[in-house]
Structure 1
Amino acid sequence: MRRFALALLFAACNAAAAPGETLIHAGRLVDTEAGRVLERQSIIVFGDKVSAVKAGYVDPAGYDKVIDLKDRTVMPGFIDMHVHLTSESSPGGFSERFYMNPTDRALRATVYLRRTLDAGFTTVRDLAAPDGIAISLRDAVAKGWIIGPRIFAAGNSIG
Protein backbone atom coordinates (compact mmCIF):
# COMPACT_ATOMS: atom_id res chain seq x y z
CA MET A 1 0.00 0.00 0.00
CA ARG A 2 2.84 2.35 0.87
CA ARG A 3 4.44 1.79 -2.56
CA PHE A 4 1.13 2.51 -4.27
CA ALA A 5 0.80 5.78 -2.31
CA LEU A 6 4.36 6.76 -3.24
CA ALA A 7 3.70 5.93 -6.89
CA LEU A 8 0.60 8.15 -6.84
CA LEU A 9 2.58 10.95 -5.19
CA PHE A 10 5.35 10.77 -7.81
CA ALA A 11 2.79 10.62 -10.61
CA ALA A 12 1.04 13.71 -9.24
CA CYS A 13 4.33 15.60 -8.93
CA ASN A 14 5.35 14.72 -12.48
CA ALA A 15 1.96 15.34 -14.11
CA ALA A 16 2.01 18.06 -16.73
CA ALA A 17 0.04 21.14 -15.84
CA ALA A 18 -3.27 21.37 -17.63
CA PRO A 19 -3.34 24.12 -20.25
CA GLY A 20 -4.99 27.27 -18.97
CA GLU A 21 -7.71 29.34 -20.53
CA THR A 22 -6.78 32.86 -21.59
CA LEU A 23 -9.22 35.66 -22.35
CA ILE A 24 -8.16 38.45 -24.71
CA HIS A 25 -10.25 41.61 -24.92
CA ALA A 26 -9.56 43.11 -28.38
CA GLY A 27 -10.61 46.62 -29.35
CA ARG A 28 -10.62 45.53 -32.98
CA LEU A 29 -10.26 42.10 -34.53
CA VAL A 30 -9.37 41.54 -38.18
CA ASP A 31 -11.67 38.81 -39.48
CA THR A 32 -9.80 37.57 -42.55
CA GLU A 33 -12.50 35.05 -43.47
CA ALA A 34 -15.22 37.72 -43.72
CA GLY A 35 -12.85 40.47 -44.86
CA ARG A 36 -13.85 42.96 -42.17
CA VAL A 37 -12.73 44.49 -38.89
CA LEU A 38 -14.88 43.71 -35.86
CA GLU A 39 -15.07 46.02 -32.84
CA ARG A 40 -15.06 45.00 -29.15
CA GLN A 41 -14.31 41.27 -29.37
CA SER A 42 -13.34 38.62 -26.83
CA ILE A 43 -10.95 35.88 -27.90
CA ILE A 44 -10.76 32.76 -25.78
CA VAL A 45 -7.56 30.71 -26.03
CA PHE A 46 -7.24 27.24 -24.54
CA GLY A 47 -3.64 26.06 -24.37
CA ASP A 48 -2.18 27.41 -27.60
CA LYS A 49 -5.34 27.36 -29.74
CA VAL A 50 -8.14 29.88 -30.18
CA SER A 51 -11.25 28.09 -28.93
CA ALA A 52 -13.84 30.86 -29.41
CA VAL A 53 -14.40 34.44 -30.50
CA LYS A 54 -17.34 36.30 -28.97
CA ALA A 55 -18.82 39.72 -29.64
CA GLY A 56 -18.43 42.20 -26.78
CA TYR A 57 -16.21 41.93 -23.75
CA VAL A 58 -16.77 38.67 -21.84
CA ASP A 59 -16.66 38.77 -18.03
CA PRO A 60 -13.06 37.89 -17.07
CA ALA A 61 -14.02 35.91 -13.95
CA GLY A 62 -12.90 32.30 -14.14
CA TYR A 63 -10.12 32.74 -16.71
CA ASP A 64 -6.53 31.85 -15.85
CA LYS A 65 -5.16 34.89 -17.65
CA VAL A 66 -6.72 38.06 -19.06
CA ILE A 67 -4.98 40.20 -21.69
CA ASP A 68 -6.38 43.69 -22.16
CA LEU A 69 -5.95 44.80 -25.78
CA LYS A 70 -9.01 47.06 -25.82
CA ASP A 71 -6.94 49.83 -27.39
CA ARG A 72 -5.32 47.53 -29.98
CA THR A 73 -6.08 45.72 -33.23
CA VAL A 74 -5.65 41.95 -33.14
CA MET A 75 -5.10 39.95 -36.30
CA PRO A 76 -4.10 36.41 -37.28
CA GLY A 77 -0.39 35.64 -37.45
CA PHE A 78 1.38 36.06 -40.77
CA ILE A 79 3.14 33.24 -42.64
CA ASP A 80 6.47 33.89 -44.40
CA MET A 81 7.06 31.23 -47.04
CA HIS A 82 10.71 32.05 -47.79
CA VAL A 83 13.11 32.71 -44.93
CA HIS A 84 16.71 31.88 -44.08
CA LEU A 85 16.78 31.78 -40.28
CA THR A 86 20.56 31.44 -40.05
CA SER A 87 21.38 34.70 -41.81
CA GLU A 88 20.23 38.21 -42.47
CA SER A 89 20.63 40.32 -45.55
CA SER A 90 23.75 42.38 -44.97
CA PRO A 91 26.93 43.39 -46.81
CA GLY A 92 28.95 40.74 -44.95
CA GLY A 93 26.25 38.07 -44.89
CA PHE A 94 27.67 35.90 -47.66
CA SER A 95 31.17 35.70 -46.17
CA GLU A 96 29.88 34.62 -42.73
CA ARG A 97 29.60 31.03 -43.91
CA PHE A 98 33.40 30.92 -44.16
CA TYR A 99 34.24 32.07 -40.63
CA MET A 100 31.18 31.39 -38.41
CA ASN A 101 30.76 27.92 -37.00
CA PRO A 102 27.34 26.19 -37.05
CA THR A 103 26.82 26.63 -33.31
CA ASP A 104 27.28 30.39 -33.55
CA ARG A 105 24.88 30.54 -36.48
CA ALA A 106 22.28 28.51 -34.56
CA LEU A 107 22.58 30.72 -31.48
CA ARG A 108 22.29 33.88 -33.55
CA ALA A 109 19.24 32.41 -35.29
CA THR A 110 17.37 32.51 -31.97
CA VAL A 111 17.56 36.31 -32.20
CA TYR A 112 16.08 36.17 -35.70
CA LEU A 113 13.31 33.88 -34.47
CA ARG A 114 12.29 36.44 -31.87
CA ARG A 115 12.41 39.30 -34.39
CA THR A 116 10.23 37.25 -36.73
CA LEU A 117 7.61 36.74 -34.02
CA ASP A 118 7.76 40.41 -33.03
CA ALA A 119 7.03 41.32 -36.66
CA GLY A 120 3.82 39.25 -36.53
CA PHE A 121 4.95 36.09 -38.31
CA THR A 122 3.81 33.00 -36.41
CA THR A 123 4.79 30.48 -39.10
CA VAL A 124 7.77 30.40 -41.46
CA ARG A 125 9.20 28.10 -44.11
CA ASP A 126 12.99 28.02 -43.95
CA LEU A 127 14.71 27.18 -47.21
CA ALA A 128 18.18 25.69 -47.18
CA ALA A 129 19.75 26.33 -43.80
CA PRO A 130 23.17 24.64 -43.54
CA ASP A 131 24.18 21.92 -41.09
CA GLY A 132 20.60 20.95 -40.22
CA ILE A 133 20.24 24.11 -38.15
CA ALA A 134 16.68 24.88 -39.26
CA ILE A 135 15.57 21.37 -38.35
CA SER A 136 17.10 21.70 -34.88
CA LEU A 137 15.49 25.13 -34.47
CA ARG A 138 12.14 23.71 -35.58
CA ASP A 139 12.36 20.95 -33.01
CA ALA A 140 13.52 23.29 -30.23
CA VAL A 141 10.60 25.67 -30.85
CA ALA A 142 8.13 22.76 -30.95
CA LYS A 143 9.47 21.44 -27.62
CA GLY A 144 9.29 24.89 -26.01
CA TRP A 145 13.05 25.14 -25.49
CA ILE A 146 13.25 28.44 -27.37
CA ILE A 147 10.72 31.03 -28.44
CA GLY A 148 9.97 31.30 -32.12
CA PRO A 149 7.42 30.84 -34.87
CA ARG A 150 6.32 27.43 -36.09
CA ILE A 151 8.96 26.33 -38.60
CA PHE A 152 8.62 24.23 -41.73
CA ALA A 153 12.23 23.40 -42.59
CA ALA A 154 13.52 22.29 -45.98
CA GLY A 155 16.89 21.20 -44.58
CA ASN A 156 20.17 21.58 -46.46
CA SER A 157 20.33 23.10 -49.92
CA ILE A 158 20.96 21.00 -52.99
CA GLY A 159 24.47 21.45 -54.32
Structure 2
Amino acid sequence: MCELTAMYWIWKNVICAKIDVVGLEHYRRRFILPKNWKNAFVFDKADAILPVPLFVNPSIMGNYVDRHERKPWNSMMANLKEIHGADIYEDAGRFFENTGCYSPCNMMIARSDVFAKACEFVFPVIFAVMKDVGTINDSYQNRYPGFLAERLFTYFFFRNSDKYRICFADKSFLN
Protein backbone atom coordinates (compact mmCIF):
# COMPACT_ATOMS: atom_id res chain seq x y z
CA MET A 1 0.00 0.00 0.00
CA CYS A 2 3.00 2.30 -0.43
CA GLU A 3 2.82 5.33 1.90
CA LEU A 4 -0.54 4.18 3.23
CA THR A 5 1.26 1.41 5.11
CA ALA A 6 3.17 4.00 7.13
CA MET A 7 0.07 6.16 7.55
CA TYR A 8 -1.91 3.19 8.89
CA TRP A 9 0.93 2.29 11.28
CA ILE A 10 1.08 5.86 12.58
CA TRP A 11 -2.69 5.85 13.09
CA LYS A 12 -2.74 2.55 14.97
CA ASN A 13 0.52 2.91 16.94
CA VAL A 14 1.50 6.54 17.41
CA ILE A 15 -1.89 8.17 17.92
CA CYS A 16 -2.48 6.03 20.98
CA ALA A 17 0.83 7.35 22.39
CA LYS A 18 -0.86 10.73 22.94
CA ILE A 19 1.41 12.68 20.62
CA ASP A 20 -0.11 16.07 19.75
CA VAL A 21 0.89 16.36 16.07
CA VAL A 22 1.80 13.61 13.62
CA GLY A 23 2.59 13.57 9.96
CA LEU A 24 3.87 11.79 6.93
CA GLU A 25 6.16 12.78 4.10
CA HIS A 26 7.95 10.49 1.67
CA TYR A 27 11.55 9.62 1.07
CA ARG A 28 11.32 11.54 -2.24
CA ARG A 29 8.52 14.01 -1.54
CA ARG A 30 8.92 16.57 1.21
CA PHE A 31 6.89 19.52 2.44
CA ILE A 32 8.48 22.93 1.99
CA LEU A 33 7.71 24.50 5.35
CA PRO A 34 8.83 27.74 7.01
CA LYS A 35 11.08 27.36 10.05
CA ASN A 36 8.26 28.33 12.39
CA TRP A 37 5.65 25.95 10.92
CA LYS A 38 5.01 24.34 14.30
CA ASN A 39 3.58 27.64 15.53
CA ALA A 40 0.53 27.04 13.35
CA PHE A 41 -0.35 24.18 15.72
CA VAL A 42 0.93 25.82 18.91
CA PHE A 43 -1.15 28.97 18.39
CA ASP A 44 -4.26 27.14 17.11
CA LYS A 45 -4.06 28.43 13.55
CA ALA A 46 -4.07 25.01 11.90
CA ASP A 47 -5.43 21.54 12.43
CA ALA A 48 -3.75 20.06 9.36
CA ILE A 49 -1.19 20.88 6.71
CA LEU A 50 -1.80 19.31 3.30
CA PRO A 51 0.03 19.58 -0.02
CA VAL A 52 -1.05 22.42 -2.28
CA PRO A 53 -3.84 20.95 -4.41
CA LEU A 54 -3.22 19.92 -8.00
CA PHE A 55 -5.66 20.98 -10.68
CA VAL A 56 -6.82 18.13 -12.92
CA ASN A 57 -9.16 18.23 -15.88
CA PRO A 58 -12.06 17.70 -16.29
CA SER A 59 -12.65 16.74 -12.63
CA ILE A 60 -11.21 14.51 -9.93
CA MET A 61 -13.36 11.61 -11.13
CA GLY A 62 -12.82 12.31 -14.83
CA ASN A 63 -9.08 12.51 -14.37
CA TYR A 64 -8.98 9.26 -12.41
CA VAL A 65 -11.06 7.20 -14.82
CA ASP A 66 -9.15 8.60 -17.82
CA ARG A 67 -5.79 7.55 -16.36
CA HIS A 68 -6.60 4.43 -14.35
CA GLU A 69 -8.72 1.33 -14.47
CA ARG A 70 -12.33 2.10 -13.64
CA LYS A 71 -13.04 -0.91 -11.41
CA PRO A 72 -11.27 0.51 -8.32
CA TRP A 73 -13.14 3.82 -8.70
CA ASN A 74 -16.51 2.10 -8.99
CA SER A 75 -15.68 -0.05 -5.98
CA MET A 76 -14.62 3.02 -3.99
CA MET A 77 -17.91 4.75 -4.70
CA ALA A 78 -19.96 1.65 -3.87
CA ASN A 79 -18.04 1.17 -0.62
CA LEU A 80 -18.41 4.83 0.32
CA LYS A 81 -22.15 4.27 0.20
CA GLU A 82 -21.98 0.97 2.07
CA ILE A 83 -19.62 2.19 4.81
CA HIS A 84 -20.48 5.88 5.22
CA GLY A 85 -24.07 6.03 3.94
CA ALA A 86 -26.05 7.46 1.06
CA ASP A 87 -25.55 11.11 2.06
CA ILE A 88 -21.75 10.80 1.95
CA TYR A 89 -21.96 8.81 -1.30
CA GLU A 90 -24.08 11.48 -2.99
CA ASP A 91 -22.04 14.38 -1.63
CA ALA A 92 -18.74 12.71 -2.59
CA GLY A 93 -20.09 11.93 -6.06
CA ARG A 94 -20.95 15.61 -6.62
CA PHE A 95 -17.57 16.67 -5.25
CA PHE A 96 -15.58 14.25 -7.42
CA GLU A 97 -17.58 15.11 -10.56
CA ASN A 98 -17.50 18.89 -10.10
CA THR A 99 -14.14 19.59 -8.48
CA GLY A 100 -10.82 19.66 -10.28
CA CYS A 101 -8.40 20.00 -7.35
CA TYR A 102 -7.04 17.42 -4.96
CA SER A 103 -4.09 17.23 -2.56
CA PRO A 104 -1.67 14.64 -3.94
CA CYS A 105 0.88 12.26 -2.45
CA ASN A 106 -0.95 11.19 0.74
CA MET A 107 1.15 13.63 2.74
CA MET A 108 -0.23 15.25 5.87
CA ILE A 109 0.83 16.86 9.11
CA ALA A 110 -2.08 17.11 11.53
CA ARG A 111 -3.23 17.17 15.09
CA SER A 112 -3.46 13.57 16.21
CA ASP A 113 -7.24 13.62 16.57
CA VAL A 114 -7.68 15.06 13.07
CA PHE A 115 -5.22 12.55 11.61
CA ALA A 116 -7.18 9.76 13.31
CA LYS A 117 -10.56 11.00 12.02
CA ALA A 118 -9.22 11.20 8.47
CA CYS A 119 -7.83 7.67 8.72
CA GLU A 120 -11.10 6.39 10.22
CA PHE A 121 -12.88 7.74 7.15
CA VAL A 122 -10.44 6.56 4.47
CA PHE A 123 -9.04 3.18 5.52
CA PRO A 124 -12.29 1.19 5.80
CA VAL A 125 -13.11 2.22 2.23
CA ILE A 126 -9.61 1.43 0.93
CA PHE A 127 -9.59 -2.01 2.59
CA ALA A 128 -13.03 -2.81 1.14
CA VAL A 129 -11.87 -1.76 -2.34
CA MET A 130 -8.74 -3.90 -2.03
CA LYS A 131 -10.93 -6.86 -1.08
CA ASP A 132 -13.18 -6.23 -4.11
CA VAL A 133 -10.46 -5.49 -6.68
CA GLY A 134 -7.50 -7.53 -5.50
CA THR A 135 -4.22 -7.27 -7.37
CA ILE A 136 -3.96 -5.63 -10.77
CA ASN A 137 -1.20 -7.10 -12.93
CA ASP A 138 0.09 -3.71 -14.13
CA SER A 139 2.46 -2.43 -11.39
CA TYR A 140 1.44 1.21 -11.91
CA GLN A 141 -2.31 0.48 -11.87
CA ASN A 142 -1.82 -1.76 -8.84
CA ARG A 143 -1.01 1.39 -6.85
CA TYR A 144 -4.75 2.17 -6.91
CA PRO A 145 -5.11 2.19 -3.09
CA GLY A 146 -2.80 5.20 -2.90
CA PHE A 147 -4.40 6.94 -5.87
CA LEU A 148 -7.87 6.52 -4.38
CA ALA A 149 -6.71 7.58 -0.91
CA GLU A 150 -5.45 10.91 -2.29
CA ARG A 151 -8.96 11.63 -3.51
CA LEU A 152 -10.64 10.36 -0.33
CA PHE A 153 -8.43 12.42 1.99
CA THR A 154 -9.13 15.49 -0.15
CA TYR A 155 -12.87 14.85 0.10
CA PHE A 156 -12.67 14.25 3.86
CA PHE A 157 -11.05 17.63 4.44
CA PHE A 158 -13.45 19.36 2.03
CA ARG A 159 -16.45 17.85 3.80
CA ASN A 160 -15.06 18.87 7.19
CA SER A 161 -13.81 22.32 6.21
CA ASP A 162 -16.15 23.86 8.78
CA LYS A 163 -14.52 21.77 11.56
CA TYR A 164 -10.82 21.86 10.66
CA ARG A 165 -8.47 24.68 9.78
CA ILE A 166 -6.36 23.55 6.83
CA CYS A 167 -3.10 25.09 5.71
CA PHE A 168 -1.46 24.15 2.43
CA ALA A 169 2.26 23.80 1.83
CA ASP A 170 4.19 23.26 -1.33
CA LYS A 171 6.26 20.14 -1.76
CA SER A 172 9.53 19.26 -3.39
CA PHE A 173 10.42 16.12 -5.30
CA LEU A 174 13.84 14.69 -4.52
CA ASN A 175 15.76 12.44 -6.90
Fold match (TM-score > 0.5): no
Q: Comparing both structures, which one devotes a greater share of its residues to helix? A: 2
Q: TM-score, normalised by structure 1?
A: 0.23
Q: Comparing both structures, which one devotes a greater share of its residues to strand? A: 1
Q: TM-score, normalised by structure 2?
A: 0.22
Larger Rg: 1
